[in-house]
Amino acid sequence: MKLLRYGPKGQEKPGLLDASGAIRSLTGILPDLAGDALSPGVLAKIAALDPMSLPKVEGNPRLGQCVTGLTNFVCIGLNYADHAAETGAAIPKEPIVFLKSLGAVCGPNDDVIIPRNSVKTDYECELAVIIGTTARHVSEDDALDYVAGYAIANDVSEREWQAERGGAWDKGKGFDTFGPLGPWLVTKDEIEDPQNLAMYTDIDGKRMQNGSTKTMIFGVKTLIAYVSQCITLHPGDVISTGTPPGVGLGVKPTPVFLRAGQTMKLGIAGLGEQTQKLVPWAM
């Protein structure tokens, strides 16, 4: 299933995408795509429904972030061998874990705001793992049992704040709109192997990232098990699993960062596509 949230910001309703690409309303069946609504039992009940029996949503509504009510937005740094190489970083011996501000999360096609005075805003196409069952001290063998599904995340980053202003990476990752998520949550039964998904990013139509989850250093199972040792993961929580090579920071000989007016388009096989326009900070 492809589950989504649609409507104006702050007024989103739950829905699903039918086989024809139309949105079907889940209003009255679910309060929202959050918390226990992502449990295996509830997802099984939704899967048993005939999508054609659900009200069709007319028009082309805005898509919101595909899950809400997150407790944790966990991100993993330098988790692709080829991305580590392009940045000149050593291969991590353990996953690099940081948290993205929950205030950064936005819809998959919402505008992304370049922070005031920023000259080093960057993009990162990532596979997002969405938790469906509370996970605490889980094993790698059992890790996928705790997954509701997968989605695309854009781990937008301001590199100066991330690496040149002292302290943790979180500062460069948590600006408003720096966490587009969606367009939908694809339940895990539709993704045969999360370690074999092609992924890409285009900037103004130019292919910049062209990678695969095959080159992850630490796979999805390992990350869930590892993170659950130090952070209790709750239904709706997200683990964004790192990015392949091709980010602006890695362009040689001179990094190329984002500018207002540009358009980002990101996609992962089986998970759809998201598009954001970059706009200047104007407050």
Model confidence pLDDT, tens digit, residues 189-223: 999 999 999 999 999 999 999 999 999 999 999 99
Q: Which of 82-86, 170-174, 215-219 has the highest mean pLDDT?
A: 215-219
At residue 81, the pLDDT reads 87
> Averaged over 69-73, what is the pLDDT?
97
CA–CA dist 37, 69 (Å, integer)? 11
pTM, 2 dp? 0.96
- Bridging pattern class, strands 238-240 and 73-77: parallel
- H-helix or E-strand spanning residue 2: strand 2-6
Q: Reply yes or no on domain 73-280 having CATH 3.90.850.10.
A: yes
At residue 271, the pLDDT reads 98
pLDDT band of residue 283 (cuts 50, 70, 90) is low
Instruction: Spell out the alpha helix ranges (H) of the chain.
Output: 40-47, 81-87, 159-163, 170-173, 220-227
Model confidence pLDDT, tens digit, residues 135-145: 999 999 999 99
| Percent of the chain whose pLDDT exceeds 90 | 91
pLDDT band of residue 88 (cuts 50, 70, 90) is confident
Helix (H, G, I), strand (E, B) or coil at 250: helix
Find out whether 124 and 104 touch, Cβ atoms under 8 Å: no
Model confidence pLDDT, tens digit, residues 237-282: 999 999 999 999 999 999 999 999 999 999 999 999 999 999 999 8
At residue 210, the pLDDT reads 97
16-25, 164-173, 213-222: least confident range: 164-173
Helix (H, G, I), strand (E, B) or coil at 283: coil
> Averaged over 98-110, what is the pLDDT?
97
Structure tokens at 6: 């649609």
Task: Give residues with Cβ within 8 angstroms of 251, minimum separation 6.
Answer: none
With 90 as the cut, is the pLDDT of residue 165 above it?
A: no
- Residue ranges of the chain that CATH labels 3.90.850.10: 73-280
Q: What is the DSSP string of 163-229?
A: HTSSS-THHHH-STT-EEB-S-EEEGGG-S-TTS-EEEEEETTEEEEEEEGGGBSS-HHHHHHHHTT
